[in-house]
Amino acid sequence: MFTGTYVAQQLLNGVVLGSMYALLALGMTVVYGILRLINFAHGALVTVGAFTFFGIFVALGWPFSLALAAALLVGGVMGLLLDLVGYRKLRGGPEVSLLITSLGIYILLENFIKLLATPQPYAFRPPAFLTQLHNVSGVAFRTVDIFIVIVSVLIMVAFAVFVKRTKLGIAMRATAESVEAAQLVGINVNHVVAVAFVLGSAVAAVTGFMWGAKYGQIAYDMGFMAGVKAFVAIVIGGIGSIPGAMIGGFVLGLVETLAVGFLPPGFAEYRDAIVFTLLILVLLFKPTGIMGRKEAV
Amino acid sequence: MRRWTSLPGGVKFLIGVGLLFLVLFVANSTLNRYVLHVIILIGIYSVATTSLNLTNGYTGLFSLGHAGFMAVGAYVATLLTFPVRLRIAYNLPLLPHFLGGPDYQWPFLPALIVGGLVAAVAALLVGAPVLRLRGHYLSVASLGFMVIITTLAKGLKDLTRGAAGIQAIPRYTDIWWVYAWLVVTIYVIWRLLNSSYGRAMLAIRESETAAQAQGIHPMRYKLLSFVIGAFFAGIAGGLYAHFARSIRPYEFSFYMTFHIVIMLIIGGAGTLLGPTVGAAIVVALKYVLKPVEEGLGIYGLVEIVYALMLIGVMLWRPEGIAGGVNPLRFLVARKGERR
Amino acid sequence: MPLLEVERIHVYYGVIPALMDLSLTVDEGRVVALVGANGAGKSTTLKAIAGVLRPRSGRILFRDRDITRLGADRRVRMGIALVPEGRQIFSTLSVRENLLLGAYHRRDQEVKKDLEWIYSLFPILRERMHQVAGTMSGGEQQMLAFGRALMARPKLLLLDEPSLGLAPLVVREIYQVIERIRDASITIFLVEQNVNMAMHVANYMYVMEAGRLKMEGVPQEVMRDEDIKRAYLGG
């Protein structure tokens, strides 16, 4: 049977994965809230972040903190560019145009990375201090696991303070509620959307670093499933709710890890199928998710 | 020209079909195998894209799971037609007797249709919970469905031989099968659009609230278009399997869905022949660019070109490339103005 | 001196005309009312002035500057604030957050002071400061919408049917507030179906019908017109 240690180990893994989903869901839900866009390109930013860090840290040999800062910066700039070049022109048109465009942007980025970095995956070795093994009464983990959870929580707290306490953050929530009313109080909606893209994309890029550091490997297509699952997390948490997106991320990370850890061994390969079955079940029985309000059709 | 436009639609359709088959006949007897191969692929993708068009272009739903329905059709039809002499070697005697068992195999046509029907039933199961929600949920749920299907195809090794896939499928698909099905697909959708069902679907695309006010029950029509779309996607999958002669789970991936989406968008969503035009452009382009990609070693070039085309069309020509320039405008013309 | 001049604007919803050749002027320091039946184009007029809708032709001048092509947010910064029909407060935000957003574009140090002024104008908002706005009553929400618009320190306040759907007692209260705003020398352009209330506060009146201006004048004069009397006062 499953020992307490085994359960604890699975829970830890679930929380680590959940932290990363939560970060991605956070960035996606802010954009979705305003534009009603499922931004497939969000997943590509994970790949961009991972490869940026990899290139600068491994290939150029720069220090860890600089490489991480570069990933953050590149992610943010990419987010801004996507908004300005890709999405801004389409606003106010059919929502589906935004969705299709984001699909195109995802494919573009993924294949651009494939072209630059070759189709083979790369072994991703984080700096030595992150790979140190620890063992607390049988539960094994590396420093990177703790790093991911702590940094994720810090980012989420910072974001919560931002939307709760700053004028721009309040404006962001207001714009998500009604674009027209936001304009009428003098909010420059384009500005708010750009900020949402920059923040979300920068966080996604950092998540890319975490992903590589946790799983030891990066590839040009690593971001796709991560991005789509982040949207599943948003649905689970309840569309339109920022705390919901984060909770949904953790729930999804735990469900995915625990399902693989506790179902018979043959089920491990159904991992992704389990996630999407969960999505369809949530849509069937509780489309508003854990924290969400009913969304107008 | 005036005489042509004044002909009734049915006559024009028949003339069009006659011309198509005349051209195909000439092509079939003069062109080399390589070009015919491309023409057949264009036909298969046209069926898939036309069926996606029913769901996406006319009712404004956006399904991203089309490759999943194609996978269902491909696997079901393949299992049914799989040759008797190979069933033992492929461990397929495990199939229940009514599916062919170890002793006999189904003919192509019923196998294709059953494949389409199973895809349609799958669409019903996925669509029923999701279609009452905002359109986006359908996109993600159908994408999820595709992932579930490909994961199952990988996992159910006794049935599908897992990631290794099924090879040595008989090559039943030829140019006549493909284009006959394309004609059927276009005909069904054309008739559907000119029926009360079609008008209801278009009303839903324009405004769901307004449609409801006219007493149209959106859910029913959305589900119908989703299910019929899935049926023809299943057919396309079956045709594909019996053309490529081997299927593997990862072929029916997000990229296949993406290719069908881009064919639709480039050809012009919501037009009757746009999908075929789009399929021809995209498939032909692939055969032009693939040697360049391999020759220069720039892997990803084809997809980058596709993605740029898609983004470009969305930004500057949302009605699609075929929208305005097609000589068969009467069939390409949009039903109603799209906003 | 004219604060706002609307010159021969045409506004369409798709292909449907909503405003035809509309011109009007709002002088500084006055209360100007725009009345008319449902669907006459009153709200459309306000939306065009606020910048939510773009006229197909014609122009809009504010303090002698052409603002026809400016976005709504720019117009707020120039001093035009709209209290929209149906209030459109941010229902998931707190009362205080709603008010602070009213001053979104302001960089000056007097926002806190103005917040106090709003609280003194509407004491109920002070009590409800931290409450989520969507949970308040219709009248309270209307006061919040007023307060939010005033936080922009507007020179011109646009009011879209402030009495709509409110109990008579609340309507009276709202109109007392309108008078106090007028006394704070803020120009008001008011759209109303409740002609009785409108003629009470207005210095000047425009009457609209089917997207066009029908007549204009001081309220007493407008109300002497037999057609208008029959249409709006049931006599």
Q: A181 to chain C: which residues are within 8 Å by CB?
A: 84, 88-90
Write out pLDDT tens, residues B257-303: 999 999 998 888 777 888 888 888 999 998 888 888 888 878 888 89
Whether A171 and C101 lie within 8 Å, measured CB to CB: yes
Of B219, B237, B253, the last residue of a domain is B253
**A129: β partners:** none
Q: What pLDDT, on a 0 to 100 scale, did the predictor assign at position C223?
A: 83
Q: C152 to chain A: which residues are within 8 Å by CB?
A: 185-186
Contact by Cβ (8 Å): C67, C35: no
Min Cα–Cα distance to chain B from A38, Å: 7
Beta strands A217-218 and C65-66: pairing type?
unpaired
Q: What pLDDT, on a 0 to 100 scale, did the predictor assign at position B6?
A: 67
**Which residues, at least 6 apart from C198, have a Cβ–Cβ distance to it below 8 Å?**
C33, C35, C190, C192, C205, C219
Whether C104 and A177 lie within 8 Å, measured CB to CB: no
Q: What pLDDT, on a 0 to 100 scale, did the predictor assign at position A295?
A: 52
Residue B198 tokens read as 């079609």
Closest to A273 (Cβ–Cβ): which among B126, B151, B307?
A: B151
Give the residue carrying structure tokens 């560019």: A81
Q: What pLDDT, on a 0 to 100 scale, did the predictor assign at position B19?
A: 85
- DSSP structure string for A94-153: -HHHHHHHHHHHHHHHHHHHHHHH-SS-EE----HHHH-EEEETTEEEEHHHHHHHHHHH
B24 shares its domain with B51: no
C84 at the A interface (CB within 8 A)? Answer: yes
List per-block mean pLDDT (blocks of 10 residues) for chain A, which spans 297 residues. 84 94 94 88 95 92 93 96 90 82 93 89 87 86 92 94 93 92 93 95 96 93 92 89 92 93 82 89 84 59
Percent of chain B with pLDDT over 70: 87
Mutant choice from A184, A192, A239 vs C, greatest count of C C-beta within 10 A: A184
Per-residue pLDDT band for B60 (boundaries 50, 70, 90) equals low
**Whole-angstrom distance, CA of residue C75 vs CA of residue C89:** 19
**A217: β partners:** A123
B21 shares its domain with B98: no
Whether B258 and A231 lie within 8 Å, measured CB to CB: no
pTM tops 0.90: no
B236 shares its domain with B146: yes
- The number of domains in chain B is 2
Instruction: Give the C-alpha distances (Å, rounded to integers) separating C8 from C25, C56, C204.
Output: 11, 10, 19
Closest to B310 (Cβ–Cβ): which among A100, A111, A269?
A: A100
B6 shares its domain with B89: no
**C132: β partners:** C94
Of B237, B253, B269, the last residue of a domain is B253
B143 shares its domain with B24: no
**Whole-angstrom distance, CA of residue A197 vs CA of residue A188:** 15
HSE-CB at C85 with a 13 A cutoff on CA atoms is 16
Please check whether residue B194 lies inside any domain of the structure.
yes
Q: What pLDDT, on a 0 to 100 scale, did the predictor assign at position B333?
A: 41
Range of the domain at B5: 1-30
- Check pLDDT > 50 for residue B329: no
**Whole-angstrom distance, CA of residue B139 vs CA of residue B65:** 7
Q: What is the ipTM of this complex?
A: 0.88
- Check pLDDT > 50 for residue B337: no
Mutant choice from C54, C95, C97 vs A, greatest count of A C-beta within 10 A: C97
Please check whether residue B310 lies inside any domain of the structure.
no
Sign of CA dihedral B261, B263, B267, B272: negative
Walk along chain C (235 residues) and give the pLDDT tens digit of each residue: 899 999 999 999 878 889 999 999 999 999 999 998 888 899 999 999 999 999 999 999 999 999 999 999 999 999 999 999 888 999 999 999 999 999 999 888 899 999 999 999 899 999 999 999 999 998 899 999 999 999 999 999 999 999 888 888 888 888 898 998 998 889 999 998 888 888 888 999 999 988 999 889 998 888 888 887 777 765 4
**Whole-angstrom distance, CA of residue B263 vs CA of residue B33:** 24
B25 shares its domain with B122: no
B12 shares its domain with B115: no
Beta strands C2-13 and C16-27: pairing type?
antiparallel
Please check whether residue B49 lies inside any domain of the structure.
yes
Please check whether residue B268 lies inside any domain of the structure.
no
Q: What pLDDT, on a 0 to 100 scale, did the predictor assign at position B32?
A: 83
Give the residue carrying structure tokens 């320039």: B325
Closest to B300 (Cβ–Cβ): which among A114, A276, A297?
A: A114
B18 shares its domain with B104: no
**Whole-angstrom distance, CA of residue C89 vs CA of residue C52:** 16
Please check whether residue B294 lies inside any domain of the structure.
no
A214-217: Cβ within 8 A, 24+ apart: A214/A16, A214/A17, A214/A20, A214/A144, A214/A145, A214/A148, A215/A124, A216/A123, A216/A124, A216/A125, A217/A121, A217/A122, A217/A123, A217/A124
- DSSP structure string for C186-222: -EEEEEES-HHHHHHH-SEEEEEETTEEEEEE-HHHH
Angle made by CA atoms A93, A99, A104, in degrees to the nearest 5: 115
- Check pLDDT > 80 for residue B211: no
Of B253, B276, B309, the last residue of a domain is B253
| C223 Rama class: left (phi>0) / alpha (psi -120 to 50) / beta | alpha
End-to-end CA distance of chain B: 30
Residue B104 tokens read as 């006999």
Alpha helix stretches (DSSP H) within B107-162: 108-130, 135-155, 157-160
B147 shares its domain with B7: no
Chains A, B: CB pairs < 8 Å: 137
Min Cα–Cα distance to chain B from A270, Å: 6
Please check whether residue B119 lies inside any domain of the structure.
yes
B12 shares its domain with B150: no
B8 shares its domain with B137: no
The per-residue pLDDT of chain A, averaged, comes to 90
**Which residues, at least 6 apart from A188, have a Cβ–Cβ distance to it below 8 Å?**
C71, C73
B46 shares its domain with B26: no
Q: What pLDDT, on a 0 to 100 scale, did the predictor assign at position B57?
A: 67
Instruction: Give the C-alpha distances (Å, rounded to integers) separating A252 from A20, A141, A258, B239.
Output: 10, 20, 10, 38
Whether C90 and A188 lie within 8 Å, measured CB to CB: no
**Which residues, at least 6 apart from B204, have a Cβ–Cβ distance to it below 8 Å?**
B59, B60, B211, B216, B218, B221, B222
Please check whether residue B299 lies inside any domain of the structure.
no
Please check whether residue B264 lies inside any domain of the structure.
no
Whether A111 and B126 lie within 8 Å, measured CB to CB: no
